[in-house]
Amino acid sequence: MEVHAHSHTPRKKWTHYFWEFLMLFLAVFCGFLAEYKLEHTIEHQREKKFAGLLYEDLKKDTLLLNRTIRMKKWRSIRLDSLIYFLTQPDLEKNAAFIYYYAHSIFMNMPFKPNEATIQQLRSSGSLRYFSKPDLYNAISNYYSDCAIYQQLEAGMTKEILIPVVSKILSADKMYSMLNITPEYSRMINVPAGPMKLLNKENAVINELTFYARHIKTIDDISLNLFQNNIGGEQEKLIAELKKEYHLK
């Protein structure tokens, strides 16, 4: 009877298993690090992209804000004149001035910030990219004050004003004075002939005076908000974004 010898596999040392475990661990860990770095890189690219878009929005806002400030100052002076002539005893004598300055009630270019980027940041939860407290607060303060201003503007629409003005001033005479040019100061021609008011009742004149004062008050509050809050916040936010993300 032939006896076959059994082959024995040598038993592996514990160090072999240790090195197998270590290599597997390092492979998984390195994969995790690579994925984390890739995700971090993508997040940083998104952050810089949003910062650049916000930066461009703010530069456009600066131009729009300066235009609105010029218009508000221009209108404020003319509203002062309208209020003065509406409160004089001889209204018929000052009718031409009332017609001329009444146009300023409708001359307005409200400031509306570019909100495409901030809306996208809010809806997608991407405001978290701007984690630095100073930058985050600057963004929040700027758009919060812009919202306050827009609420002020919303309170006085043409739908409210036209019925009041139409009780006192002739539409034909009002629109005959219009001369559309790029320069606001030359858009309204001085009346060439005699002008007549449709109504001189105290209650009606008082209603127009009330609205003129109200609009001027809104403009004055808006100018104060522009010069003491929004304008400064604009400059600070642009400077912060430019510094943080090396924007041009």
Can you give the pLDDT at residue 182?
Answer: 60
Q: Please say whether the beta carbons of 79 and 222 come within 8 A.
A: no
Q: Are 191 and 100 in contact (CB under 8 A)?
A: yes
Confidence check: pLDDT of 240 > 90: no
175 has a pLDDT exceeding 70: yes
pLDDT score for 36: 60
Q: Please, how many CA atoms are within 13 Å of residue 210, restricted to the half-sphere of its CB?
A: 9
- The 3-class SS string of 195-233 reads CCCCCCCHHHHHHHHHHHHHHHHHHHHHHHHHHHHHHHH
For the chain, how far is it from start to end, CA to CA, in angstroms? Answer: 94
In this predicted model, what pLDDT tens digit does every residue of 61-105 receive, in sequence order? 999 999 999 999 999 999 999 999 999 999 999 999 999 999 888
Give the pLDDT of residue 200.
93
How is residue 58 written in tokens?
């703010």
Contact 111, 60 (CB under 8 A): no
* Least-confidence region, from 39-43, 182-186, 244-248: 182-186
Is pLDDT above 70 for 38?
no
pLDDT at 226 over 90: yes
Phi, psi values for residue 38, rounded to 5°: -65, -45
The one-letter code for the residue type at 108 is: N
pLDDT number for residue 1: 46
Contact 95, 201 (CB under 8 A): no
Q: What is the Cα–Cα distance from 43 to 37, expressed in whole angstroms?
A: 10
Which has more confidence, 74 or 126? 74
**Residue 191 near residue 51, CB atoms below 8 Å:** no
